[in-house]
A and B are shown apart, each in its own frame.
Chain A
Amino acid sequence: MTIPTSSIEQVIPGQGSMAQPQRAKRRSFRFVANKKAATGLIILGVYLVLAVIGPWITPYDPGARGNDLVQPPSADHWMGTTHLGQDVFSQLLAGTRSVIFVGFFAGIVATVLSVVIGVTAGYVGGKTDEALSALSNVFLVIPALPLIIIITSTLENAEDSLIALVIGLTSWSWNARVLRAQTLSLRRRDFVEAARASGERTWRVIGFELLPNLTAVIASGFVGTVIFAVLSEITLAFIGVTSATTWNWGTILFWAQGQQALAQSAWWWFVPAGLAIAILGTALSLINFGIDEFVSPRLRSAGKTKIKTASGRTVRMRIGFTPVLDNRAQHSHATPTPVVRQEVVQ
């Protein structure tokens, strides 16, 4: 096919001048613009700050005994006192560091392990897959909490880092399985096959083609493991396996339970610790939702999902029901008018 050069010249300059769409504004901090993620990040930020400075800003020594026994919240003791006159607020602040540290350390250990084992098993396949799958199956059926209890109770006065390591090492298997399954379905996709066919190295295929597609799964696995680790640590302290001298929220609950706080209707003793756990879990879940929307370009590009029609109603954009912005027929439609073939008006 030959095109006269003159016509190309005629065409190109014209197109050059008209085809200059304004570049879409680059939006940094897009992740924070997501309301859910922002809320979760703010709450988590407060927790992280408290984890660092908590033990230093406690109004009282969390272990120090006082004369006000089992007092409800007051100006002196914001969250009341325990049976020994200890300040619950100070205990809560002092306990944050341990909880956050164990949660995130265990979460990171478990996530790294699950990504390495799960993705390798799914991508490499064959004997490697069978061995790694067998390994994760074994860890899957090990009852994690009893094992943690046995390990930590044999090691006297186990440190936080050891507890975190034990929790991390026993809780990676579920995520490894999920990641393996996801990798199996991804590795047969055309874009991965194309990458392999064009000679990309295995680490690049995994790092560049596969992992970005797994981000949501990895992130949700991480968040889930952090929540699990926090709950495990609190459970360990609550049942009195770990030493009762280092403070965390579980220790507070341990003493509250031991002294029958509920029967004494000393709600201030256990409610703050319980709420702290719940709010931390909520914050992590909110971040997880945010990550889900952020890493999926399809969800991201949708942008505004609620729009206003001409009649003032707000419609949500959703698949299968395209919104109609301005429908002049809406009013005349109430009484169906006999439609005559309309001549095209000039």
Chain B
Amino acid sequence: MSQPVIEIRNLNVGYGLGDQGVRAVRDVNLTLHRGEVLGLAGESGSGKSTLAYGMTRLLAPPGVITGGEVIYHPEQGDPYDVLSLSDSQLRKFRWNETAIVFQGAMNSLNPVHKIATQLTDVLKAHEPKMSETQRNARAREMLKLVGIAPDRMDAYPHQLSGGMRQRVMIGMALILQPQVVIMDEPTTALDVVMQRQILGQLIELRERLGFSVIFITHDLSLLVEFSNRIAIMYGGRIVEEAPASAIYRDALHPYSKGLLGSFPALKGPRRELTGIPGSPPDLKGMPSGCSFHPRCPKAFDPCGSEIPMLENRPDNRSVACWLVNS
């Protein structure tokens, strides 16, 4: 397996402190390898976005990181812990090394500035030595990469369609050639055709530029199609992590199975969509043992009392379930 880029170790993220606080992400261990697309899937409120914002320290108050490490491996030099960077180091680290495309990113563009201004603004801040012509050339190149005609440089955001704006945002995230791009449901506001187009482009870009992607979505079918590995989150923990094809073919955790059973397959025999009964757990009153056991159709003895740990298996996948672990 290739080199790791980001290693998350025992990351704990919560909202609020003391009695009022809730733990939204619990003891998460996750490794992103170079050039890999890692999918993070789970229901609303399972901690996907909290994990992504926590590891980049972008969580707004009252969010706090209560413990853990996020080791970043730069292309050259020694690995370091993102969580112990000072404010100025963190500023430099962001966008240069890790870029993020937010939920509903297409509304992140400022309506009164031209696309060109907003694209080159990043370069002004991070690479002050660049001349104006160089900056413009870079912005043009970026637009071309994401499939927008460079003559749209002087357009205002309202003159572009939703999909184009989204692609501008992706281009903006890539403009400093970061090693890692985190995408938080970047395509939820778009129609399926546009989704496919943008994701196809993203994969193509990744092959060309060689960055790694953490892709957050609740659309598991999307992930199965184009990510290398998938991590499934439930109640703030990762319950299953495996290569995408392995999850699709044979999910080990009952929750993953439930997620996969909630959307129809395009090919193959027709089957009944099952879904998962019940609703996600309340973070303030997590069930004892495995947090999924009240909804789990296969719950048995140890599930209600003991928390299953994420266990590595020989076939390069790991599961946190008493059915599989012994």
Contact = CB atoms under 8 A, between A and B. Distances in A.
Nearest to B309: A346
Nearest to B288: A18
Interface string A15-26: 100111110100
Contacts of A307: 17, 64
Given A322-B65, A326-B66, A336-B80, A344 B278 contact: no
Contact of B58 (A1, A320, A344): A320
B154 interface: no
Interface in B186-229: none
B279 A15 contact: yes
A304 interface: yes
Contact of B282 (A18, A24, A328, A330): A18
A154 interface: no
Interface in A8-42: 8, 10-12, 14-15, 18-22, 24
B312 A14 contact: no
B134 interface: no
A18 B287 contact: yes
A67 interface: no
B61 A333 contact: no
A317 B69 contact: no
Given A20-B285, A342-B7, A344-B311, A324 B53 contact: no
Nearest to B30: A344
Given A18-B282, A24-B20, A324 B311 contact: no
Contacts of A326: 66-67
A328 B7 CA distance: 15
Contacts of A342: 7, 9, 29
Interface residues of A, number: 46
Given A336-B79, A342-B7, A328 B69 contact: yes
B61 A18 contact: no
Report the interface size class on chain B: 35 or more
A339 interface: yes
B285 to A, nearest CB: 5
A18 B64 contact: no
Contacts of B281: 15, 18-19
Interface string B264-289: 00000000011101110110111100
Given A1-B273, A19-B285, A327-B84, A302 B61 contact: yes
Dominant secondary structure of chain A at its interface with chain B: loop
B309 A344 contact: yes
Contact of B62 (A317, A339, A345): A317
A10 B4 contact: no
Contacts of B31: 341
B151 interface: no
Contacts of A305: 61
A7 B293 CA distance: 12
A203 interface: no
Given A24-B20, A338-B78, 9 more contacts: A1-B273, A11-B294, A15-B281, A19-B284, A317-B64, A322-B63, A327-B84, A329-B83, A346-B309
Interface of B: 4, 7, 9, 13, 16-17, 19-20, 29, 31, 53-54, 57-69, 71, 73, 78-81, 83-84, 87, 90, 273-275, 277-279, 281-282, 284-287, 294-295, 297, 309-312, 318
| Top 10 A-B pairs, shortest CB-CB distance | A21-B284, A336-B78, A317-B61, A14-B294, A11-B278, A322-B59, A329-B81, A19-B282, A326-B67, A322-B57
Interface of A: 1, 3-4, 7-8, 10-12, 14-15, 18-22, 24, 301-305, 307, 317-330, 333, 336, 338-339, 341-346
